[in-house]
Amino acid sequence: MTDFTYEEGSHTSDPADFVERFVDFWNSPSPERIYEILHPDVVLTQPLSPPMRGIAAAQEEFQRIWRWLPDLRAQVDRWRGDSDLLFIEFRLRAHAGNELIEWPNIDRIVLREGKAIVRTNYFDPLPLLHKVVRHPRLWWSWWRSGAARPWHTGHHIDDYTALLPRERR
């Protein structure tokens, strides 16, 4: 296993404790609680959303998402990681009208001081978009929520790589 550290020094975190707080957060999520798992200087990237920097940007984006899918919850399936780098495999699920929608996700999380400083989310957006397109009411609520901005995607934050752990040689 490769040993990772930050260029500016090690910031140890307990990955099991973080996952426990992640699960607790997603059992009753709200923008007001996001600080429990995110570092104030967090950088978040995910499909269908522009990159976010800082707690305020994360709260705004998640408010849009919960406006669209108010019962959105996560179920953690498994995780692996250490005090710097963590991978969490989970399923997001919510009701869209009378239909339960669910899609698998993987978060790649860089921890600092017990919180996520970099969170990169991976999921295939096509099944979700297929459901949105098939249901006009769902499409309209997605659009009105402000979360419908798939043209603003990308991982183009200038100093993004400076936040990643570096391999020790």
Is residue 47 within 8 Å of 152, Cβ to Cβ? no
Q: How much is the average pLDDT of 66-77? A: 92
Examine residue 70 and state whether it is found in any structural domain, yes or no. yes
156: pLDDT confidence band, cut at 50, 70 and 90? very low
Q: What is the pTM of this model?
A: 0.77
d(CA 57, CA 54): 6
Domain that holds residue 143: 9-152
What CATH number is associated with residue 125?
3.10.450.50
pLDDT higher than threshold 60 for residue 94: yes
- Classify residue 3: in a domain, yes or no: no
Task: For residue 22, tell me if it sits in a domain.
Answer: yes
Q: pLDDT digits over 105-145, tens only?
A: 999 999 999 999 999 999 988 877 777 677 666 655 555 55
Q: Report pLDDT for 8.
A: 39
Q: Which contacts of 51-59 are long-range, i.e. CB under 8 A and separated by 24 or more positions?
A: 51/154, 51/155, 51/156, 51/157, 51/160, 53/157, 58/31, 58/34, 59/31, 59/32, 59/34
